[in-house]
Amino acid sequence: MSSKYWKILAAILAALAGANLLVLPHHPHFEAEAVPGFWAAFGLLGGLALCVAAGAMLGPLVRINGREGDGR
Amino acid sequence: MAAEMVGFVHPSLAFLGLAALLPFARGRINWKPLTLIPPLIAVATAVWLSFSLEGGQVVLAKMHWLGNTLVLARADKLSLVFMHVFALQSLLAAVYALYQDTPAEPAAAALHVGGALGCLLAGDYLTLFVFWELTSIGSTLLIWLRRTDAAQAAGYRYFLFHIFGGLLLLFGLILRYKATGSLAFEHVAPGPLALYDMLILAGFAVNAAVVPLHAWLSDAYPEASAMGSVYLCAFTTKTAVYVLARAFSGFEPLTVAGAAMVIYAGVYALVESDARRSLAYQTIAQVGFMLAGIGVGTEMALNGACAHAFAHVAYKGLMFMAVGAVITSTGTGRMERLGGLAKAMPLVAACYLAAAASTSGLPLFGGFTTKSMTIAAASGFNTWLGLALELGALAAILAVGVRLPWLVFFAPEGQAEPAAPVPNCMKAAMAGGALVCLGLGVMPGALYAILPYKVDFQPYTAWSVLQSLMLTGFGVLAYMVAKNVVAPLPGRLADFDMLYGAVGRVFYKLVSQPLAFVDGIWSEVYRTVGLRGLMEKARFAAVFDRKGIDMVVDGAAYAAGHLGGVAATAQTGRLQTYLAASLALAVAVFAGIWLWP
ipTM score for this prediction? 0.90
Is A56 near chain B, with CB under 8 Å?
yes
Is B390 near chain A, with CB under 8 Å?
yes
Residue-level pLDDT at B597: 59
Among A2, A50, A65, CA closest to B474 = A50
Q: What percent of chain B has pLDDT over 70?
A: 98
Residue-level pLDDT at B537: 86
Q: For B491-547, write each residue's pLDDT tens digit.
A: 888 888 888 888 888 988 888 888 888 988 988 888 888 888 888 888 888 888 887
Is A53 near chain B, with CB under 8 Å?
yes
Cβ contact B99:B426 at 8 Å:
yes
Report the range of poorest mean pLDDT among A4-8, B189-193, B379-383. Answer: B189-193
C-beta atoms of B479 and A57 within 8 A: no
- Sign for the pseudo-dihedral over CA of B515, B518, B524, B530: negative
Q: How far apart are CA B247 and CA B265, in angstroms?
A: 25
C-beta atoms of B466 and A23 within 8 A: yes
Is B531 near chain A, with CB under 8 Å?
no
Is B228 near chain A, with CB under 8 Å?
no
C-beta atoms of B222 and A69 within 8 A: yes
Give the pLDDT mean for B211-238.
94
Among B385, B359, B398, B409, CA closest to B266 = B398
Q: For B378-410, write each residue's pLDDT tens digit.
A: 999 999 999 999 999 999 999 999 999 999 999
Q: For B295-334, write each residue's pLDDT tens digit.
A: 999 999 999 999 999 999 999 999 999 999 999 999 999 9
Is A52 near chain B, with CB under 8 Å?
yes
Q: Length of chain B in residues, anyone?
A: 597
Cβ contact B140:B219 at 8 Å:
no
Residue-level pLDDT at B119: 97
What pLDDT band is residue A59 in, cutting at 50, 70 and 90?
A: confident
Give the pLDDT mean for B237-246.
97
Q: Name residues whose C-beta falls within 8 Å of residue B458's C-beta, 6 or more positions apart in sequence.
A: none
> Would strands A63-64 and B492-493 be described as parallel, antiparallel, or unpaired?
antiparallel
What pLDDT band is residue A7 in, cutting at 50, 70 and 90?
A: very high
Cβ contact B36:B95 at 8 Å:
yes
| CA-to-CA dists, residue B429 to B52, B167, B351, B536, angstroms | 29, 36, 10, 79
Residue-level pLDDT at B13: 95
Q: Which of A39, A52, A61, A62 to mutate to test the interface with B (most CBs of B within 10 A)?
A: A39
DSSP A10-48: HHHHHHHHHHHHH---SS-SSGGGGSTTHHHHHHHHHHH
- Prior bond to B597 cis, omega within 30? no
Residue-level pLDDT at A30: 82
Q: Name residues whose C-beta falls within 8 Å of residue B547's C-beta, 6 or more positions apart in sequence.
A: none
Picking from B332, B466, B478, the nearest residue to A51 by CB comes out as: B478
Residue-level pLDDT at B41: 96
- Whether pLDDT at A68 is above 70: no
Burial (CB < 10 A; 0-12, 13-18, 19+), residue B248, is: buried
Amino acid at B178: K
Top pLDDT among B133 and B575 is at B133
Find the radius of gyration of the CA atoms of chain A.
19
Give the pLDDT mean for B103-129.
96
Residues 489-518 of B with CB under 8 A from A: 489-494, 498
Q: How far apart are CA B296 and CA B388, in angstroms?
A: 14
For residue B59, the cross-strand partners are B74
C-beta atoms of B473 and A43 within 8 A: yes
- Whether pLDDT at B156 is above 90: yes
The whole-chain average pLDDT of chain B stands at 91
Is B384 near chain A, with CB under 8 Å?
no
Residue-level pLDDT at B491: 80
Picking from A1, A55, A65, the nearest residue to B271 by CB comes out as: A55
Is B379 near chain A, with CB under 8 Å?
yes
DSSP B335-392: TTT---TTTT-HHHHHHHHHHHHHHTT-TTSHHHHHHHHHHHHHHHH-HHHHHHHHHH
Report the range of poorest mean pLDDT among A27-36, B255-264, B456-465. Answer: A27-36
Q: Which chain B residue has the Cα nearest residue A15? A: B470
C-beta atoms of A42 and B474 within 8 A: yes
What pLDDT band is residue A70 in, cutting at 50, 70 and 90?
A: very low
- Whether pLDDT at B462 is above 90: yes
Is A21 near chain B, with CB under 8 Å?
no
Q: What percent of chain B has pLDDT over 90?
A: 70
Cβ contact B74:B122 at 8 Å:
yes
